[in-house]
Protein backbone atom coordinates (compact mmCIF):
# COMPACT_ATOMS: atom_id res chain seq x y z
CA UNK A 1 0.00 0.00 0.00
CA UNK A 2 1.20 3.48 -0.84
CA UNK A 3 -0.44 6.66 0.46
CA UNK A 4 -1.94 8.72 -2.36
CA UNK A 5 -0.20 11.76 -0.85
CA UNK A 6 3.17 10.03 -1.35
CA UNK A 7 2.33 9.18 -4.95
CA UNK A 8 1.28 12.75 -5.66
CA UNK A 9 4.64 13.89 -4.24
CA UNK A 10 6.46 11.59 -6.68
CA UNK A 11 7.45 9.07 -4.01
CA UNK A 12 6.45 5.97 -5.96
CA UNK A 13 8.34 3.52 -3.79
CA UNK A 14 7.24 4.78 -0.37
CA UNK A 15 5.27 1.69 0.61
CA UNK A 16 3.91 2.16 4.12
CA UNK A 17 1.90 -0.99 4.67
CA UNK A 18 1.47 -4.48 3.29
CA UNK A 19 -1.99 -5.32 1.97
CA UNK A 20 -3.00 -8.98 2.07
CA UNK A 21 -6.51 -10.10 1.35
CA UNK A 22 -7.70 -12.52 4.05
CA UNK A 23 -11.27 -13.77 3.66
CA UNK A 24 -13.42 -14.35 6.73
CA UNK A 25 -11.09 -12.58 9.16
CA UNK A 26 -13.05 -10.72 11.85
CA UNK A 27 -12.38 -7.00 12.15
CA UNK A 28 -9.61 -6.22 14.65
CA UNK A 29 -8.33 -2.84 15.89
CA UNK A 30 -4.81 -3.14 14.40
CA UNK A 31 -5.94 -4.39 10.99
CA UNK A 32 -6.67 -2.07 8.07
CA UNK A 33 -9.79 -2.68 6.05
CA UNK A 34 -10.01 -1.22 2.57
CA UNK A 35 -12.81 1.36 2.47
CA UNK A 36 -16.03 0.62 0.65
CA UNK A 37 -17.18 2.71 -2.28
CA UNK A 38 -15.87 3.51 -5.72
CA UNK A 39 -12.34 2.79 -6.88
CA UNK A 40 -10.29 3.73 -9.90
CA UNK A 41 -8.72 0.52 -11.16
CA UNK A 42 -5.81 0.10 -13.56
CA UNK A 43 -3.41 -2.64 -14.54
CA UNK A 44 0.34 -2.58 -15.11
CA UNK A 45 2.22 -5.28 -16.97
CA UNK A 46 5.97 -5.62 -16.76
CA UNK A 47 8.84 -4.26 -14.78
CA UNK A 48 8.22 -2.34 -11.56
CA UNK A 49 10.52 0.47 -12.69
CA UNK A 50 7.76 1.49 -15.13
CA UNK A 51 5.07 1.69 -12.42
CA UNK A 52 5.55 5.45 -11.91
CA UNK A 53 4.47 6.01 -15.50
CA UNK A 54 1.27 4.08 -14.88
CA UNK A 55 0.55 6.19 -11.79
CA UNK A 56 1.07 9.35 -13.84
CA UNK A 57 -1.50 8.03 -16.34
CA UNK A 58 -3.91 7.23 -13.49
CA UNK A 59 -3.63 10.74 -12.02
CA UNK A 60 -4.02 12.33 -15.46
CA UNK A 61 -7.18 10.28 -16.06
CA UNK A 62 -8.56 11.15 -12.63
CA UNK A 63 -7.88 14.85 -13.19
CA UNK A 64 -9.47 14.84 -16.63
CA UNK A 65 -12.62 13.23 -15.20
CA UNK A 66 -12.88 15.28 -12.01
CA UNK A 67 -12.07 12.35 -9.72
CA UNK A 68 -10.37 12.89 -6.36
CA UNK A 69 -8.31 9.93 -5.25
CA UNK A 70 -7.56 9.46 -1.56
CA UNK A 71 -6.16 7.26 1.19
CA UNK A 72 -4.05 4.45 -0.26
CA UNK A 73 -3.23 2.77 -3.53
CA UNK A 74 -3.69 -1.00 -3.24
CA UNK A 75 -1.36 -3.01 -5.49
CA UNK A 76 -2.10 -6.68 -6.01
CA UNK A 77 -0.02 -9.08 -8.08
CA UNK A 78 -2.63 -11.03 -9.97
CA UNK A 79 -0.46 -13.61 -11.72
CA UNK A 80 2.63 -13.84 -9.54
CA UNK A 81 2.32 -17.59 -9.05
CA UNK A 82 2.38 -18.41 -12.75
CA UNK A 83 4.92 -16.08 -14.39
CA UNK A 84 8.54 -16.84 -15.17
CA UNK A 85 9.60 -13.39 -16.37
CA UNK A 86 9.04 -9.96 -14.81
CA UNK A 87 7.89 -8.76 -18.23
CA UNK A 88 4.78 -10.92 -17.81
CA UNK A 89 3.96 -9.82 -14.24
CA UNK A 90 0.61 -8.02 -13.89
CA UNK A 91 -0.20 -5.65 -11.04
CA UNK A 92 -3.75 -4.52 -10.33
CA UNK A 93 -3.87 -1.00 -8.90
CA UNK A 94 -6.97 0.18 -7.02
CA UNK A 95 -7.35 3.64 -5.49
CA UNK A 96 -10.49 4.86 -3.68
CA UNK A 97 -12.38 7.74 -5.28
CA UNK A 98 -13.63 10.40 -2.85
CA UNK A 99 -17.30 11.28 -2.98
Residue 34 within a domain: no
Residue 47: domain span: 2-18+41-96
Residue 23 within a domain: no
- According to DSSP, residue 74 is labeled E
pTM to 2 decimal places: 0.89
Please check whether residue 50 is in contact with residue 44, taking contact to mean a CB–CB distance below 8 angstroms.
yes
Q: Return the H-helix or E-strand segment holding 8.
A: helix 4-8
Residue 56 within a domain: yes
Tally of structural domains, the chain: 1
Q: Which residue has the higher pLDDT, 31 or 58?
A: 58
Q: Return the H-helix or E-strand segment holding 56.
A: helix 51-64
For the chain, what percent of residues have pLDDT higher than 90?
A: 77
Q: By three-state DSSP, how is residue 87 classified?
A: helix
What is the predicted pLDDT for the residue at 83? 92
pLDDT digits (tens, 9 = 90+) for 49-70: 999 999 999 999 999 999 999 9
Amino acid sequence: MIAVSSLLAGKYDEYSRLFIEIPFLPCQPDLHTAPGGRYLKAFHKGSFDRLPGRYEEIFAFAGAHGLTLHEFSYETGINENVVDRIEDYIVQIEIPVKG
